Every structure is written in C-alpha cells, then in structure tokens.
Chain A
Amino acid sequence: EDQVTQSPEALRLQEGESSSLNCSYTVSGLRGLFWYRQDPGKGPEFLFTLYSAGEEKEKERLKATLTKKESFLHITAPKPEDSATYLCAVQVITGANSKLTFGKGITLSVRP
C-alpha cells in the first residue's frame, strides 16, 4: 500500500529561522510528488511538482527537493505569512488512475 509520512507534525519557527519539512514515501511506482499549502478553512494551494530524483524547484522562500525515498521542503528566512499547513502528496503509476495520496501535513507557525 502506498504510504506518505510527513514530519514533524508541527513546527514553530522564529521569523528568519530557516528549516526543512520532510516527506517520506513508500510507493510502487512514483509518477510525481506534489507539495501544497493549506490555510485554515481553505482548499490546498498548489506549490510544486517533482518528477524524478535529484530534481529541485524554487519559489520565493521555498525550495523543494526529491530523492528516491523522500522530499524536503526547505524554508529560507520564513516570515509570519508562511504560517500554514504544508501537504505532501504522491501520484503513482497505475494506468488511468490519477489520484493523489496525501500525508497528514505539517503545521508551520512562524513567530514575528
């Protein structure tokens, strides 16, 4: 069974204190790994897609990386507005099936 585990469950940072969020996965065949941001009471907002080990993508203070077993979301010099829940999801290679399997998310709080 495909599994996605995110750690830690919650992370509290001081503004400007860089850190990384981890997403480890066990899947039969990875088609893609996705990062989303979710604010309270809202739907997930797409951030990145990574397709192969070694791939990296950046957007403002966020950088996502991928290995064969895990992905990291690096946050450089975070600001309070980066506070949110960050979701990791995998899509596996199974014919026409395009479903995403999500981890439980990491709740990030950035203090000013």
Chain B
Amino acid sequence: NAGVMQNPRHLVRRRGQEARLRCSPMKGHSHVYWYRQLPEEGLKFMVYLQKENIIDESGMPKERFSAEFPKEGPSILRIQQVVRGDSAAYFCASSPPGRQGKGEQFFGPGTRLTVL
C-alpha cells in the first residue's frame, strides 16, 4: 500500500509565477490536509479537504492561495504570483474516512518550494 505521494519534490519558481503542488492520498483515504513548514518554524495547518469540499481553510492566506480536491485525481495546492516569503516545505497528509476525528494523519514527503 503506497503512502501519501507528493510531486514535485522540489519546485523552483521566480517571483510572480504560479506554483502547483500535487498530493495523492493513501489508497482508501478521503481526507486531505495541507501544512506549511517554514525554516525554524513548526508545521502550520493550512487547509482541510474532503472530496470536492473544503472543510476548513482557516490557515490559508487570504490571497494568492487556493486548494482543491476533485472527485478524480490528486489534491492541488495552488499559489499564484509567488513571493520569496512563500519559500517553504509544503506537506500533505491524509486520513481514512471515519477516522478523521481520531487524528492519525499520515504525511507525504513534502514539496520544497524555492522562490527566486
């Protein structure tokens, strides 16, 4: 059973470009979470999605950031017009249906975004 998959693993963008980060949850998991880890900081929650629904986006910046989890395909975290402060590691986690209330989120390897 493959774990949570994220791609790309490393992404370099220039200021003003768009970044698209993809996450495929573990097989059978229908809940996806995105977290951001800045240097010397802990992991910070961004958004929680179920298939075709955003459940909680309280950690998402108000502008330039969006997330989706379509019925088919991976979850996408999209950052428009990137700035240097967006440079960070972005992690996706998933949990199985019915277990989201009990934590046990399983993390992917992350995408390391560098904005030049």
Q: Name A's B-contacting residues (CB within 8 A).
A: 4, 31-32, 34, 36, 42-46, 49, 51, 87, 89, 91, 96-105
Contact = CB atoms under 8 A, between A and B. Distances in A.
Interface in B89-107: 91, 95, 100-107
Contacts of B109: 42-43
A31 B41 CA distance: 24
Classify chain B: how many residues form its interface, as a range.
Answer: 20 to 34
Contacts of A43: 4, 6, 91, 107-110
Nearest to A33: B103
A98 B91 contact: no
Contacts of B116: none
Nearest to B112: A41
B42 A103 contact: yes
A98 B42 contact: no
A98 B45 CA distance: 10
